[in-house]
């Protein structure tokens, strides 16, 4: 059996991720540039709504594309538009509608992962999951148990993960295309080394110990949620597990338990932050109230939202409003910032007021990843 796997060339990881996900040579630079240009046209129309004679509009028209960088890297909006060609959707795994994915990722077909400017895909092909990172020499097999821990580790490391759903195109193997390679097999033939920052919970090709690993992860998570059980701290629990095991499985099991504990703690902190943000949303001032600013924001999905704020409101009030009112568009608040479409200025000091940030009149901001 064969898998389609493009390896890294220049800064084209977004294209590699899409093609590896779809298992075929579907997108190239020209196609992606056309999609980026289409998004640029849509953004110009949105800017024109604020007036074609404004300084904001004129400066925007002089700027380079916001959807493709000079290095050839494409934005998430372009990737989502490419997925739409096949009637596929990409939704952040932290989206409320994706609540069941973390518990049962094996039921999905594909994921697209991003950190800074690097994209890569995870795909189920013929009942097996594969890490199709273009930085790998070959696909890396992921057992179903390892898949869940792997996705959790990526989130802890700061990756944004998009769940791709829809009817994927049928896979046609074309040996005339150089990116088709023989599927790595069990028994040590898969020599692909995973990056050092990935946890190797088990040798996923051999797949031994999945049940034991699953029990260990479940037990460690249960201990975090019920610290009264069994006595001692989570670290003691982790050490006890490591001491009770023999051979090279000690480190793998300890890492799995540490990862599950860390993930549970991150989830709890995220829940606390969500409650705090929802409780601090300012009321919208009346249309005739003095010293107000109309904020219009383009979300990461391309959707446009807006409302009025007082000059005395802080930047954090805008972020809290976004989270509370448009939670479906915000994946992970800690990874997002507001950027001026006019000056490309990034606003990061959430404790400053709109007056101190010189956000006056009608302002168009864009939500971007840090």
Alpha helices (H) along the chain: 13-22, 29-48, 55-62, 76-84, 144-156, 210-225, 234-244, 249-278, 315-325
Task: Give the separation between CA 7 and CA 5, rounded to whole angstroms.
Answer: 6
CA distances from 85 to 37, 75, 79 (A): 15, 16, 10
DSSP 195-252: PTTS---S-TTT-TTHHHHHHHHHHHHHHHH-TTSSSS-HHHHHHHHHHH--TTHHHH
Cα distance between residue 151 and residue 237, in whole Å = 23
* Catalytic one of 20, 73, 114, 133: 133
Q: Tell me how far apart the alpha carbons of residues 176 and 169 are, in angstroms, rounded to a whole number.
A: 19
Q: Which of 13, 19, 20, 66 is catalytic?
A: 13
133 catalytic? Reply is yes
- Asked if 310 contacts 292 with a C-beta cutoff of 8 angstroms, the reply is yes
**Residue 337 CA from chain centroid, whole number:** 15
Burial 83-116 (b: 16+ CB within 10 A, else e): beebebebbbbbbeebeebbeebeebbbbbbbee
- Separation CA 187–CA 168 (nearest Å): 30
Looking at 20, 118, 136, 320, which residue is catalytic?
118
Note if 113 is an active site residue.
Answer: no
In angstroms, the CA 169 to CA 275 distance is: 40
Active-site residue 118, yes or no?
yes
Catalytic residue annotation: 13, 118, 133
């Amino acid at each position: 059996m064969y898998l389609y796997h493009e390896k890294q060339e220049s800064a084209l990881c977004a294209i590699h991720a899409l093609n590896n996900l779809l298992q075929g040579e579907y997108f190239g630079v020209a196609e992606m540039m056309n999609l980026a240009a289409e998004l640029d046209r849509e953004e110009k129309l949105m800017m024109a709504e604020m007036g074609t004679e404004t300084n904001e509009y004129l400066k925007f028209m002089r700027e380079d594309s916001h959807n493709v960088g000079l290095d050839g890297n494409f934005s998430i909006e372009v990737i989502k538009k490419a997925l739409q060609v096949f009637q596929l959707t990409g939704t952040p795994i932290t989206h409320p509608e994706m609540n069941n994915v973390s518990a049962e990722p094996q039921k999905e077909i594909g994921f697209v992962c991003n950190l800074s400017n690097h994209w890569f895909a995870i795909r189920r092909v013929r009942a097996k999951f594969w890490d199709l990172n273009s930085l790998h020499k070959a696909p890396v097999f992921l057992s179903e148990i390892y898949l869940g821990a792997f996705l959790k580790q990526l989130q802890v490391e700061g990756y944004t993960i998009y769940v791709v759903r829809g009817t994927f195109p049928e896979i046609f193997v074309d040996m005339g295309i150089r990116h088709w390679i023989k599927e790595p097999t069990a028994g040590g033939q898969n020599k692909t080394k995973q990056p050092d920052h990935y946890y190797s919970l088990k040798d996923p090709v051999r797949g031994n110990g999945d049940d034991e690993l699953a029990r260990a992860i479940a037990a460690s998570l249960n201990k975090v949620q019920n610290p009264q059980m069994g006595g001692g701290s989570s670290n003691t629990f982790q050490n006890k597990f490591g001491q009770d095991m023999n051979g090279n499985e000690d480190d793998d099991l300890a890492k799995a338990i540490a990862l599950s504990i860390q993930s549970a703690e991150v989830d709890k902190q995220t829940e606390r932050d969500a409650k705090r943000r929802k409780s601090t949303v300012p009321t919208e001032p009346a249309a005739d109230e003095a010293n107000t600013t109309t904020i219009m924001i383009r979300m990461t999905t391309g959707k446009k939202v807006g409302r009025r704020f007082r000059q005395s409101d802080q930047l954090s009030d805008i972020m809290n409003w976004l989270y509370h009112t448009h939670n479906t568009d915000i994946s992970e608040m800690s990874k997002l910032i507001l950027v001026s479409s006019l000056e490309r200025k990034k606003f990061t000091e959430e404790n400053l007021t709109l007056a101190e940030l010189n956000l006056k009149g009608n302002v168009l901001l864009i939500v971007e990843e840090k």
